């Protein structure tokens, strides 16, 4: 997979400056960095881990909340279902029919 690359004309237009100014800023940046644009494997690994952590946080925020599941105690599952159905109002017609 290739990275998408933009030229200085694009960045100048987006940044609202002239192409000549963009080229000047690029040269100033390169001289300021001493033309040393390498990244050590340790630094790369550090920032890679940070980005992966951020992506995981974003993915977790986008997932819906899992439904609340209560562990059923032995022998209490029918009692729990009966309580829940009465609580949501759906059992009122059932109770009326039973009476």
Is the residue at 90 inside a domain? no
Inter-residue long-range contacts of 13-17, CB under 8 Å, 24+ positions, other chains counted: none
pTM of structure: 0.45
**Domain count across the chain:** 1
Cα distance from N-terminal residue to C-terminal residue, the chain? 70
Domain of 51, in residue numbers: 8-61
Tokens 């992506």 correspond to: 55
What share of the chain has pLDDT > 70, as a percent? Answer: 62
- DSSP secondary structure letter of residue 37: -
- Measured distance CA(33)–CA(8) in Å, rounded: 18
Q: Is residue 30 predicted with pLDDT exceeding 60? A: yes
Is the residue at 92 inside a domain? no
Is the residue at 68 inside a domain? no
């Amino acid at each position: 997979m290739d990275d998408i690359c933009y030229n200085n004309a694009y960045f100048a237009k987006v940044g609202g400056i002239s192409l000549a100014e963009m080229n000047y800023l690029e040269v100033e940046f390169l001289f300021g960095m001493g033309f040393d644009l390498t990244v050590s494997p340790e630094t790369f690994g550090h920032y890679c881990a940070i980005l992966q952590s951020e992506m995981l946080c974003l993915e977790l925020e986008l997932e819906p909340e899992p439904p609340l599941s209560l562990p059923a105690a032995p022998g209490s599952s029918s009692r729990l279902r009966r309580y829940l159905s009465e609580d949501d109002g759906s059992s009122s017609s059932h109770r009326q029919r039973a009476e």
